[in-house]
Structure 1
Amino acid sequence: MTSVAPPSLAERSHPLTIDGSADGGGRAVLRARGELVQGCDAVLAEALAELPARTGRVELDMAGVIFMDTAGRQFLDTLRDYGQQHLIPVSATNWHGQPRRILELIGLDTSDPLRPVDPNPPVLPSPAPLPSPVSLERAEQLHELREEIEHLRRAIASRPVIDQARGILMATHSCTSDEAWHILREASQLSNTKLHTVAAAITCGAESGGPPPPGEVREALRQALARRGR
């Protein structure tokens, strides 16, 4: 079983591939190779969809991944969602090089970034300015990397409340995890409200005595649910 990512980001020369195998005990081992960029979450989803129905554990070996940008967030979300939907343990291990450095900088466990996020991530020191052109170029690259890391950190920090909101929608409206995700996204777009804000409003409203979501969020949720026959 081999899945290959479509070309992206100026036709990168090392598209991501995922090879997999499953043993008789229900353990599946997937091996990722290449560059983890936009679109690679779909490659992972395809590889996961091809696993046997009896699979009881998924281990993703990242040793062959040589580059990762902010698309790594959705890639890890895809693996996490698969484990939650099938109620099985999943892991992503053997990170090396630049991908491992990104995990270190944002405070994730480099042995398995799907573990809980460190509540006190390390603060990156400001680089000392150097006059040479090479140093200026490196400083610009570091700035871009910090922006990618910050986007990834914010997305990971908001993940728990989004997962809670999806669970509430699944329990309340008898929908699947994927349907709940699309309902949240549609409600966010219809109300012009950030996704994590919509999720937080749903979570707070589900608590005993909690405030109901704002009117625009309630109306957007109603429309999103109606579109999916809920």
Structure 2
Amino acid sequence: MASTASRPLTRRTHILVDTLVIDVRREADGRAVLTPRGELVHGCAGILSRALAGVSPGSPRIDLDMARVTFMDTAALQFLDTLDAYGRRHAVPVTATGWTGQPRRILELAGLDTTDPLNPAERPARPRSTPPVSSMVAAERTEQLLLLRQELDQLREALTTRPVIDQARGILMAAHGCTSRQAWDILREVSQRSNTKLRAVAAMITTGTQPDAPPPPEEIRTALRVAIESRRL
């Protein structure tokens, strides 16, 4: 008979609400590993609270692997606050690592540590003898910062106008078999190509599905067609 001590003590719990799933696993050393999958949007903090409620009280630490989070808006800050508050309340170390893609860019823009925003590493002071950054690199960084700011502005707008945007994303997902993230990217590209606010684009797409509704303007239809074809949906 195999010894139970040699087997990892694992327990998986799946909590699903909207676009976020959190997998809870207990390792052999007792620590809890949480793996969120999906999007950190409105309601994500509540999902995390319910996942944490299923963690064994004796867990010596809580580690979150964020590598499978594909999208987040400003609701992610409440998600991190909930995790941090849990760690302080139970006197348990907590980490949130593995950030990639769009979530990592948002952390950069927000000035948070992209390795672990709850446990930021101290950045070494830059030596005075270090030569100045070339104008080409500085220009590239400025352009990247502007793009990130534009993306954050769109995220803030999406947060306040989420219902109509969610409807438009659902329509695109049903019509073209794309993912939630792909639908968001399509809406954003159409907004940029047509120089139209994201909410207005979403409203036109949503209204266009109603009986006897007029089609969206030509520039919106053209931008939508290009955005969809570029992803070969």
TM-score norm. by structure 1 comes to 0.49
- When normalised by structure 2's length, the TM-score is 0.49
